[in-house]
Protein backbone atom coordinates (compact mmCIF):
# COMPACT_ATOMS: atom_id res chain seq x y z
CA UNK A 1 0.00 0.00 0.00
CA UNK A 2 2.89 2.39 0.62
CA UNK A 3 4.82 1.55 -2.56
CA UNK A 4 6.71 4.52 -4.07
CA UNK A 5 5.84 6.62 -1.03
CA UNK A 6 8.63 9.07 -1.83
CA UNK A 7 7.50 9.59 -5.43
CA UNK A 8 3.74 9.97 -5.20
CA UNK A 9 1.59 12.68 -3.72
CA UNK A 10 -0.12 11.26 -0.65
CA UNK A 11 -3.57 11.76 0.82
CA UNK A 12 -3.47 10.21 4.30
CA UNK A 13 -6.74 9.44 6.10
CA UNK A 14 -8.02 7.24 8.91
CA UNK A 15 -7.18 6.70 12.56
CA UNK A 16 -6.55 9.78 14.72
CA UNK A 17 -4.91 13.11 13.91
CA UNK A 18 -1.99 12.06 16.13
CA UNK A 19 -1.59 8.80 14.16
CA UNK A 20 -1.64 10.68 10.85
CA UNK A 21 0.92 13.14 12.21
CA UNK A 22 3.22 10.29 13.31
CA UNK A 23 2.91 8.71 9.85
CA UNK A 24 3.89 12.00 8.20
CA UNK A 25 6.66 12.60 10.76
CA UNK A 26 8.22 9.27 9.74
CA UNK A 27 8.22 10.32 6.09
CA UNK A 28 9.61 13.77 6.88
CA UNK A 29 12.37 12.25 9.03
CA UNK A 30 13.67 10.13 6.15
CA UNK A 31 13.28 12.46 3.18
CA UNK A 32 16.12 14.22 1.39
CA UNK A 33 13.72 16.93 0.23
CA UNK A 34 13.34 20.41 1.68
CA UNK A 35 10.16 20.28 3.77
CA UNK A 36 7.53 23.04 3.88
CA UNK A 37 4.96 22.15 6.51
CA UNK A 38 1.74 24.10 6.89
CA UNK A 39 0.24 24.27 10.37
CA UNK A 40 -2.71 21.89 10.83
CA UNK A 41 -6.37 22.82 10.49
CA UNK A 42 -6.22 25.64 7.96
CA UNK A 43 -9.86 26.63 7.47
CA UNK A 44 -9.96 29.42 4.87
CA UNK A 45 -8.22 30.49 1.70
CA UNK A 46 -7.10 33.70 3.38
CA UNK A 47 -5.47 31.68 6.17
CA UNK A 48 -3.81 29.42 3.56
CA UNK A 49 -2.42 32.48 1.72
CA UNK A 50 -1.15 33.95 4.99
CA UNK A 51 0.71 30.70 5.65
CA UNK A 52 2.09 30.73 2.08
CA UNK A 53 3.50 34.19 2.78
CA UNK A 54 5.25 32.83 5.88
CA UNK A 55 6.49 29.50 4.51
CA UNK A 56 7.58 29.92 0.93
CA UNK A 57 10.78 31.70 -0.10
CA UNK A 58 9.53 33.19 -3.33
CA UNK A 59 10.32 36.77 -4.24
CA UNK A 60 8.75 38.48 -7.25
CA UNK A 61 11.13 39.75 -9.93
CA UNK A 62 10.09 43.33 -9.24
CA UNK A 63 10.47 42.96 -5.47
CA UNK A 64 12.22 46.31 -5.13
CA UNK A 65 9.15 48.07 -6.55
CA UNK A 66 6.75 46.49 -4.09
CA UNK A 67 6.24 46.33 -0.39
CA UNK A 68 5.81 42.61 0.47
CA UNK A 69 3.44 43.49 3.28
CA UNK A 70 1.13 45.05 0.71
CA UNK A 71 0.98 42.11 -1.73
CA UNK A 72 -2.58 41.17 -2.55
CA UNK A 73 -4.00 37.73 -2.01
CA UNK A 74 -4.05 37.13 -5.78
CA UNK A 75 -0.40 38.17 -6.14
CA UNK A 76 0.68 35.79 -3.39
CA UNK A 77 -1.37 32.98 -4.98
CA UNK A 78 0.21 33.65 -8.40
CA UNK A 79 3.74 33.78 -6.97
CA UNK A 80 3.04 30.56 -5.09
CA UNK A 81 1.82 28.84 -8.28
CA UNK A 82 4.86 29.98 -10.24
CA UNK A 83 7.25 28.98 -7.47
CA UNK A 84 5.65 25.53 -7.17
CA UNK A 85 5.94 25.10 -10.93
CA UNK A 86 9.66 25.91 -10.99
CA UNK A 87 10.96 24.26 -7.85
CA UNK A 88 12.64 20.90 -7.29
CA UNK A 89 13.13 18.40 -4.48
CA UNK A 90 10.65 19.75 -1.99
CA UNK A 91 8.00 18.15 0.18
CA UNK A 92 4.88 20.17 0.97
CA UNK A 93 2.85 18.94 3.94
CA UNK A 94 -0.70 20.18 4.60
CA UNK A 95 -2.11 18.52 7.71
CA UNK A 96 -5.72 18.14 8.79
CA UNK A 97 -6.99 19.92 5.69
CA UNK A 98 -10.56 18.60 6.01
CA UNK A 99 -11.82 21.75 7.75
CA UNK A 100 -10.77 23.94 4.80
CA UNK A 101 -13.53 25.54 2.74
CA UNK A 102 -14.37 22.67 0.37
CA UNK A 103 -14.08 24.59 -2.90
CA UNK A 104 -10.64 25.88 -1.91
CA UNK A 105 -9.53 22.53 -0.53
CA UNK A 106 -10.24 20.88 -3.88
CA UNK A 107 -8.77 23.80 -5.87
CA UNK A 108 -5.52 23.88 -3.88
CA UNK A 109 -4.97 20.13 -4.13
CA UNK A 110 -5.97 20.18 -7.81
CA UNK A 111 -3.43 22.88 -8.51
CA UNK A 112 -0.58 20.92 -6.94
CA UNK A 113 -1.57 17.77 -8.85
CA UNK A 114 -2.04 19.73 -12.09
CA UNK A 115 1.49 21.16 -11.74
CA UNK A 116 2.87 17.68 -11.10
CA UNK A 117 0.97 16.32 -14.12
CA UNK A 118 2.28 18.99 -16.49
CA UNK A 119 5.83 18.43 -15.20
CA UNK A 120 5.71 14.74 -16.19
CA UNK A 121 8.57 13.64 -18.40
CA UNK A 122 8.35 10.29 -20.22
CA UNK A 123 11.97 9.32 -19.56
CA UNK A 124 12.28 11.00 -16.15
CA UNK A 125 10.24 9.47 -13.33
CA UNK A 126 11.49 12.00 -10.75
CA UNK A 127 8.95 14.52 -9.54
CA UNK A 128 9.77 18.17 -8.87
CA UNK A 129 7.87 18.19 -5.61
CA UNK A 130 5.76 15.95 -3.44
CA UNK A 131 2.56 16.86 -1.63
CA UNK A 132 1.24 15.14 1.50
CA UNK A 133 -2.24 16.05 2.71
CA UNK A 134 -3.86 14.57 5.82
CA UNK A 135 -7.43 14.66 7.00
CA UNK A 136 -9.89 12.47 8.86
CA UNK A 137 -11.77 11.01 5.88
CA UNK A 138 -11.30 10.54 2.14
CA UNK A 139 -14.58 12.37 1.28
CA UNK A 140 -14.41 11.16 -2.36
CA UNK A 141 -11.33 13.26 -3.11
CA UNK A 142 -10.33 11.37 -6.27
CA UNK A 143 -13.79 11.77 -7.80
CA UNK A 144 -14.02 15.45 -6.84
CA UNK A 145 -10.60 16.17 -8.32
CA UNK A 146 -11.32 14.13 -11.46
CA UNK A 147 -14.42 16.23 -12.14
CA UNK A 148 -12.36 19.44 -12.49
CA UNK A 149 -8.95 18.18 -13.63
CA UNK A 150 -7.69 19.46 -17.00
CA UNK A 151 -5.91 16.97 -19.24
CA UNK A 152 -3.19 17.55 -21.81
CA UNK A 153 -4.20 17.51 -25.45
CA UNK A 154 -3.95 13.96 -26.84
CA UNK A 155 -3.97 12.44 -23.33
CA UNK A 156 -5.02 8.81 -23.51
CA UNK A 157 -5.81 8.41 -19.80
CA UNK A 158 -8.99 9.59 -18.13
CA UNK A 159 -8.93 12.27 -15.43
CA UNK A 160 -9.63 9.57 -12.87
CA UNK A 161 -6.65 7.51 -14.09
CA UNK A 162 -4.34 10.54 -13.97
CA UNK A 163 -5.49 11.52 -10.47
CA UNK A 164 -5.15 7.93 -9.23
CA UNK A 165 -1.63 7.83 -10.68
CA UNK A 166 -0.65 11.14 -9.10
CA UNK A 167 -2.34 10.78 -5.70
CA UNK A 168 -2.05 7.74 -3.47
CA UNK A 169 -4.81 7.60 -0.88
CA UNK A 170 -3.51 5.89 2.25
CA UNK A 171 -6.08 4.84 4.82
CA UNK A 172 -4.21 4.17 8.05
CA UNK A 173 -7.10 1.99 9.25
CA UNK A 174 -6.11 -0.51 6.53
CA UNK A 175 -2.36 -0.64 7.25
Does the pLDDT value for residue 155 go beyond 80? yes
Taking the C-alpha atoms of residue 38 and residue 135, their distance in angstroms, rounded to an integer, is 13
Which pLDDT belongs to residue 128?
82
The structural domains of the chain, ordered by start, are: 9-174 (3.40.50)
Q: What global pTM score does this model have?
A: 0.89
Q: Higher model confidence: residue 157 or residue 51?
A: 157
Region 110-119 average pLDDT: 89
Which pLDDT belongs to residue 61?
53
What value does the CA radius of gyration of the chain take, rounded to a whole number of Å?
Answer: 16
Half-sphere exposure (Cβ direction) of 41: Cα atoms closer than 13 Å? 2
Most confident region among 12-16, 61-65, 89-93 by mean pLDDT: 12-16
Region 36-64 average pLDDT: 79
Which pLDDT belongs to residue 2?
55
Confidence at 3, pLDDT banded by 50, 70, 90 = low
Which pLDDT belongs to residue 1?
47
- Averaged pLDDT score across all residues of the chain: 87
Region 26-30 average pLDDT: 95
Starting from the edge strand earliest in sequence, which strands make up the sheet with 34-38, in order? 34-38, 90-94, 129-134, 9-13, 167-171
Sign of the C-alpha dihedral computed for residues 128, 163, 114 and 11 taken in this order: negative
Amino acid sequence: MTKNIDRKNLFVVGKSAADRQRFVDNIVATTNKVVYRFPPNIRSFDNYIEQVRRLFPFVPTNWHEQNPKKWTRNQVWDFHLDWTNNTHSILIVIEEFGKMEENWEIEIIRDYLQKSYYQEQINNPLVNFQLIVTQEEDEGIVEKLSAIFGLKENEKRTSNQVISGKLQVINLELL
